[in-house]
Amino acid sequence: MGYCRRMSGDAHPPEASGFPATLVRQVLDDALRVPSRPCIFAIAGLQGSGKSTLAAQVVDAAIGAGLAAATVSIDDFYLTRAQRRALAAHVHPLLATRGPPGTHALPLALSTLDALRAGGNLALPRFDKLADDRAPAAQWPTVNGRLDLLVIEGWFLGTPAQDADALAEPINALERDEDPDGTWRRWCNDTLARDYPALWARFDRLWFLQGPDFDIVPQWRWQQEQALQAAQPQRRGMTRTQLDCFVQFYERVSRQALRTLPAIADRTIALDDHRHPL
């Protein structure tokens, strides 16, 4: 097994500065226009774009306004490590690495959102990225009563699958060397086409944080990795070489998101190289 598949350090620290209060207010105002409760508000953005930070800011603003709000990430619905190992054994070894379409527990995601719609008490799943496994249910935060707002964030929310003929040629060294016949990328694309639209359909709103291009992702992700290592010296982090390999798992669908989401999202926020809204 190559080192790319073993790395699991894709936890994202918040950006220190955060987003402007005016943007946070715009998100909250848009959410409050949705008549149903809770409003399920999706924020998409490539790795390192600040989507987790914006989601947290919006939830804080909602709570400050007297609303019941919570946030969850698509990452919280990853398959367990054992489930991904089974996929790696039976479908393709690259599926041991979490992240791409097909490595999420979609029935858990759908049932969680549907239960939130119904109201009542509910535990929100959490994934332990350092352990590379779903956190024990006893550690999941609990929602008590009906929410007004749930913000869900994720790097490829709302992204459609590619046409089959677009999968023929590898786009990076990972695909060329470890998926030469295209089995992994076809499997991920097929699950994106078949299974994920049911999740996208649960969103009341979708906003997209659009970085300049995919080439900025390794830089943004490396900044996060350095911040994580500074904050958690005991954590086993990635080297820059390992990180550059790791982001290749996300490249194909990330480029598809950049191509398609501006025409799909309810609003697209263009960001410069420093994550500042343009």
CATH number at residue 91: 3.40.50.300
Residue 154 lies in a domain: yes
| Contact present, 66 and 241 (Cβ < 8 Å) | no
Which structure tokens are listed for 242? 């390992």
Overall domain count for the chain: 1
DSSP states along 111-145: HHHHHHHH-S-EEPP-EETTTTEEPPGGGS-EE-S
Per-residue b/e over 59-82, b at no fewer than 16 CB within 10 Å? bebbeeeebbbbbbbbbbbbbebe
Residue 63 lies in a domain: yes
Q: How high is the pLDDT of residue 224? A: 76
Q: How high is the pLDDT of residue 117? A: 93
**At 252, which amino acid appears?**
R
Q: Which H or E run contains 205? A: strand 205-210
| pLDDT tens sequence across 128-152 | 988 899 999 999 999 999 999 999 9
Q: How high is the pLDDT of residue 13? A: 39
| pLDDT tens sequence across 152-200 | 999 999 999 999 999 999 999 999 999 999 999 999 999 999 999 999 9
Residue 7 lies in a domain: yes
Q: How high is the pLDDT of residue 200? A: 98
Q: Which H or E run contains 32? A: helix 21-32
Q: Where does residue 12 rank: exposed (0-12), middle (13-18), buried (19+ CB within 10 A)?
A: buried
Give the number of other CB atoms < 10 A from CB of residue 166.
13
Q: Is a pLDDT exceeding 80 seen at residue 10?
A: no
> Rg for the chain (alpha carbons), in Å?
18
Q: Is a pLDDT exceeding 70 seen at residue 238?
A: yes
| Contact present, 71 and 160 (Cβ < 8 Å) | no
Q: How high is the pLDDT of residue 234? A: 67
Residue carrying structure tokens 């992204």: 159
Q: Is a pLDDT exceeding 50 seen at residue 125?
A: yes
Which structure tokens are listed for 219? 């830089």
Residue 86 lies in a domain: yes
Q: How high is the pLDDT of residue 252? A: 97
| pLDDT tens sequence across 61-109 | 999 999 999 999 999 999 999 999 999 999 999 999 999 999 999 999 9
Q: How high is the pLDDT of residue 243? A: 81
Residue 276 lies in a domain: no
Q: In what order do the strands lie in the sheet with 69-73?
A: 69-73, 149-154, 39-45, 205-210, 267-270
Residue 51 lies in a domain: yes
Residue 275 lies in a domain: no
Answer whether the bond into residue 38 is a cis peptide, omega within 30°: yes
Q: How high is the pLDDT of residue 235? A: 65
pLDDT band, residue 226 (cuts 50/70/90): confident
> Which domain covers residue 82, as residue numbers?
3-12+20-270
Residue 38 lies in a domain: yes
